[in-house]
Structure 1
């Protein structure tokens, strides 16, 4: 089983011709309220990829909570460990331009009150997977990682949105997930050289940290450094409509396929294709593909058997 310890948000989304410059007001579309949050996103992506998923998170005592959990409920995600803390559910205010680029302002709300003890006792064990992100208190995520590792579970950390992470904080992490920009930011923060491309930077990070490091590369797919081996996977050629949630899709689907016993190369290929498919529809959670759609799309990836 996969346990996601992370954020639950509402995404307030407005589309506009171009992203506003400082001090500029631009006309926008009617807004949409869409379930989001990196923890919830990754949980839904993993669930739609066929995994059994438990979400540990927090919502507020407001009308937004039901909307934030609606897609997860519909998918059959285990929400018994979602708690109500404080008056407001987390909210991301997202602007998307005509090129599918976005800006995001995040109000944490109840996510700031999530604690590691919300994992519960005895809920993680040998062969389970714990997936973490950076939208809840990091100290609590580190304690969750410690508990999971002690129980024999695999621990994955998506360093998004990027925050400087010290080496000591990664002692209980098995797999680090970043995008190409975050890989460079992490390397610079740790005093490591940034390579000429994502693969070189990932290899440097993996060697220095003695951890598996995976970087998404947008249209170029993804690359990993794993036990001295470099793994590259292709993406799926698509016309992007909205890139919001593509990275969360990759993380959730990677976790799902690993949890199902697939090797890392296969998990990454599924995840790269799923992330591409997620870019072809508006919004985060509504765009996450089902396992059948991923299977069908893989036929268009030459490198996949």
Structure 2
């Protein structure tokens, strides 16, 4: 089972010709309303990739709550441990340009007061995976990680948005997923001079014992685990929108690990899912299903490592 402890948002997405600079207003033709939030996105991605998934989080008592949970409910994510609190449902305000790049502002809302208490109601086991991100409070993530580690499970942190975790949380991690910027933020926080994600991932694996996956956008992925390096290219796709590409990668990657796949196969699934998410607009509407992930991942299986 994958337990996702994280954020639940409603996304307001508008296409623009170009992203605005500081103090600049750019007009868009309209906007779309989508369910989102890194926790919810990764829960849906893992579920669509075939995993049994429980989401622990919070929404407000407002009209956005039902919309934020709609696709999760439709696809069979266990929502019994999502609380309703006296704060607005979290929201993200997203602009995407014609090349697929985006700017995102997140208002935490209910995510700022979410608690991991529901984990006490779950029968945690050694095969469970806890998936964390950085859109809910640090102390709550730490408590969730402690509960799962005490049960013998594994803890994965996606360091997004980019912010260094506390030493206590870092010590509980089995696996870390970062992009290039997030890797650099963490290295700087640790006082390391490395700027290359490959070198940072290697050092995290070698010195901290944290298997580390660094996503490199269109350049693919590099990962270090137990002193072994994996460097894989991403498939070429027609990019429409990069929103939720990282969440799709992380959810599908975690689902592959939960299914017992090795690191290389899990990376293939993650690359396939993240790439497919780029071919559709929106966050959760763009997250691919298991059959499509498997079909694209199969085309990557024979590629040599770089």
Shift of 1:116: 1.8
- Residues 56 and 116, structure 2, Cα contact 8 Å, conserved in 1: no
- Residues 12 and 94, structure 2, Cα contact 8 Å, conserved in 1: yes
Within a 5 Å distance, the mapping from 1:173-212 to structure 2 comes to 173-195=173-195, 197-212=196-211
Within a 5 Å distance, the mapping from 1:1-305 to structure 2 comes to 1-195=1-195, 197-301=196-300, 303=302
Shift of 1:84: 0.1
- Residues 145 and 169, structure 2, Cα contact 8 Å, conserved in 1: no
* 2:147 counterpart SS class: helix
RMSD: 1.4
**Cα deviation code 1:124-175 (max 9, x no counterpart):** 2111111000000111001100010000111101110011224332121100
Using a 3 Å threshold, how does the CA distance of structure 1 residues 122 and 61 change in structure 2: closer, same or farther?
A: closer
Displacement over 3 Å in runs of 4+: 302-305
- Residues 265 and 301, structure 2, Cα contact 8 Å, conserved in 1: no
CA distance in 2, matches of 1:107, 1:122: 29
- Residues 166 and 190, structure 1, Cα contact 8 Å, conserved in 2: no
* 2:300 counterpart SS class: coil
* 1:286 counterpart SS class: helix
Shift of 1:234: 2.3
**Structure 2: any 5+ residue segments left out of the alignment?**
none
- Residues 233 and 303, structure 1, Cα contact 8 Å, conserved in 2: no
Larger displacement relative to structure 2 (163-172 or 28-37): 163-172
* 2:156 counterpart SS class: strand
CA distance in 1, matches of 2:142, 2:97: 35
Aligned length: 304
